[in-house]
Amino acid sequence: MAEIVDHVDVQAILETAVALRQSFGLQLFLVDDEQIPVDQRFGLTAASSYDDDYNSGTSPYNYANVYFSQKRVAEELMLGRWVSAASKVYFVCGPSYETDYLNWKAITDGSVRFEDSALNVDDLTSIDFSAITDINGVLTVLNAELAALVGPNINDLENAVFKFDSLGRLVLEMQTTGSSAPTVEIKAVAPPVGTDLSSASFMDAANGFAVAGVDAEEPTDALNAISQLNDTYYNVNVRGSSTAQQVALGTYIESKEKLLDLVVTDVNAKNAGATTDTGYQLKALSTKRTMCIYTEHTDQYPDAAVNGTVLPAEEGTTNWAYEVLSLVTDSGLTKPLTLTERSALKNKNYTWIETVGDSTYLYNGITSGNEEKRIMLGRDWFIARIREAIFADMLNSPLHAFDNPTLTKVEGFIRDVADQAIERGILVDTPARPFIVNMPDADDIDQATRATHKLEVYNAFQGYLNSAINDYKIVGTFTL
C-alpha cells in the first residue's frame, strides 16, 4: 500500500484585483540563437509552421520538431532569445524595402547616409548596382562599399554588413557589441546626391529602427526581458546553461507561478556522493518548481518530448510520469543506467528517460522538491481560475462590497472551480479529506474590519490535492 511521506500546507492568495495573464499550455524554450532577433526576444511557432520558421539542425528547429512530434500535438510553442554573449548593434530597415533586384539594378548613382547616436555621420555615394544578377547582389555591392571606407567617422562602419535576418528583414549589422555601443541609423543624404537609397522604394529607412546592443546576460535576465513583452508562458525550458545558471534559474522560478524543466548531463548527478550537480543543489535549497531530467545524450531534447506530450492535455488530467515519448531514448548513452545510478538519481529527486520493451517514457515526473509536477500545475490552475472568475466579475459588476451578494458569488466561484478540479483529479473530496468553503456571512463582519476597507478571509476554503506522494493541504485566503 502506498505511504504518504510528507505533509505540505499551501497558502493560496485570492486577491480580487489580480488579472489572469497565464496560459498553462504555453511552453517557453529559452535559447541563444540568432534566428530569434534581439529586438523580438520571442516568437510563437505553430505546429504546422516550425519547419518553415527555423533553419534545420538548429536548436529552435530541433526542439520544436521533438515538441510537435509527440502523441498529442500542441498548438504552439514560444521560443525566447537568451543573449549569452554580448549582442551586436544593428539597424532594421522598414517593411517596405524593395525586394525586386531589377529595381536595384537600374541604379548607378545610389547614395545613403549613416548616423550614429553620437551624431557622427558618413555618406556613401555613386553606388552602382548595374552588374547584380539577384537580390543577394544588393548585399554584395553595399558591403563592398562599406569595406572600402577609409577612416569613417562612425566607429567600425567599414566592418559593418548588410544582410537579411531570420525574419527576412534588410538589416545593417555593426560589429560593435554590448549596451555601451552607439546605435546606428540610415538616413537620406542631404542635399540629395543621386538616387536616395533610404527612401521607401528601397530601404524604407523612415520606417526602420535601431536595435541597441545587449550585454552578455544570465538566463534569468533573459526571462525578465521576455516577461516585460509577454508573460503568459507557464512552463520554461532552457538550453546551454551551466550548473550555476541552472541553480539560479531554479531559485528564480520558485518566486513565480511558473514551472521549470532542466536537462542535466553532468555525470555527478548519478554519483551518490556528489554535491555539485544541479539536482542535489536544488533539492538542498528546498525548491519545488523545477524538474531536473538527467540524460547522457547531449544532442537530445527530453524536455521537449515530455512537455509536447503533457501540456496539450487539460491541466491536471495527465501525469508527467510514464507517458510514452518519441524521438528520445534511454538516458544511458551506450547502455541503460544501472540500478546504483538510478538509486542515486532518485535520492536527488531527478527524473530520467527509461526504455522498456518498445516504450520510452519519463520516470517519475517529480520536481526537485519531490512534488508531482502534475499537482504543481493543477494547484496553479485551480488558484488562477478562481482569481480569473473573481476578477471578471469585478469588471462586470463594479460593486464588490462587504455584503452577502458579493460573498455568495465568491463562494460560488470557488465551488464551481473546485468541482472542475475534483473532476480532473486535481483535488479530492472524501470524508477523510473533504473540500470545505468557509466564506463568512456579511452580518458577521465587525465594524473595525469594515473601517479598514479591507476584508481578509484566512480560511476561505481548504482542501487536499490528489497527490500520491504528499499529504497536500491547500488553504485559501480571500481579500476584498
Map out the domains of the chain as residue ranges. Answer: 17-84+217-368, 88-211, 374-479
Q: CA 172 to CA 163: how far, in whole Å?
A: 7
What is the C-alpha separation between 417 and 385, in angstroms, rounded? 7
Q: Which residue type occupies 135?
A: I
The pLDDT assigned to 3 comes to 41
pLDDT tens digit at each of 480 positions of the chain: 334 444 445 555 555 445 455 688 899 999 999 899 999 999 999 999 999 889 999 999 999 999 999 988 889 999 999 999 999 999 999 999 999 999 999 999 999 999 999 999 999 999 999 999 999 999 999 999 999 998 999 999 999 999 999 888 999 999 999 999 999 999 999 888 899 999 999 999 999 999 999 999 999 999 999 999 999 999 999 999 999 999 999 999 999 989 999 999 999 999 999 999 999 999 999 999 999 999 999 999 999 999 999 989 999 899 999 989 999 999 999 999 999 999 999 999 999 999 998 899 999 999 999 999 999 999 999 988 888 888 788 777 767 777 888 888 889 999 999 999 999 999 999 999 999 998 888 788 888 877 887 778 888 889 999 988 888 888 888 877
Contacts of 73 (CB under 8 A, 6+ apart): 47, 308, 312
Helix%, strand%, coil% for the chain, nearest 5: 30, 25, 45
SS3 assignment, position 379: helix
Can you give the pLDDT at residue 1?
Answer: 32
What pLDDT is recorded for position 433?
92
Q: What is the pLDDT of residue 13?
A: 56
Which residues make Cβ contacts (< 8 Å) with residue 312, sequence separation at least 6? 25, 72, 73, 74, 75
pLDDT for the residue 450: 79
pLDDT of residue 265: 97
CB-count exposure of residue 228 (10 Å: 0-12, 13-18, 19+): exposed
The interaxial angle of helices 404-424 and 373-396, nearest 10 deg, is: 150
H helix runs in 311-403, sequence order: 339-347, 373-396
> Could you tell me how far CA 216 lies from the centroid of its own chain?
18
Q: What is the pTM of this model?
A: 0.89
Position 22 scores a pLDDT of: 65
